[in-house]
Amino acid sequence: MDVHKLRELLEEAHGAQAMVHKDLFALGCWLYLNGKRTAGEKMIKQVVASIPETGNRTYLNAIKENIAGNERAWAEEIFAHLEVNELFQS
């Protein structure tokens, strides 16, 4: 599963503010990966909740249920700021 569609949905829903949501999603992935699962999951779910569910419910629910093991790939696919992505290199 990937988050390419989520990236597109964020850009459609939030326009110029989409980057804030993409950064928050990637930071949530980083926190989750580094053992701060509750905080990371809350950030990820908050971003997902900002997207209208109409026509996307199954996809959005799948994201919320499949965080573990996808953190690095999802952070890369969401196209967050370079500085956020660099957190995964350390």
**pLDDT(90) > 90:** no
- For residue range 2-40, what is the model confidence (pLDDT) as tens digits? 999 999 999 999 999 999 999 999 999 999 999 999 999
Report d(CA 1, CA 10) in Å as an integer: 17
In this prediction, residues 62-82 reach a mean pLDDT of 98
Q: How confident is the model at residue 80 (pLDDT cuts 50, 70, 90)?
A: very high
**pLDDT(66) > 90:** yes
The answer to whether 72 and 29 have CB atoms below 8 angstroms apart is yes
For the chain, give every domain's residue range: 4-89
Average pLDDT of the chain to the nearest whole number: 97
| The CA-based dihedral angle spanning residues 49, 52, 56, 61, taken in that order and rounded to the nearest 10 degrees | 20
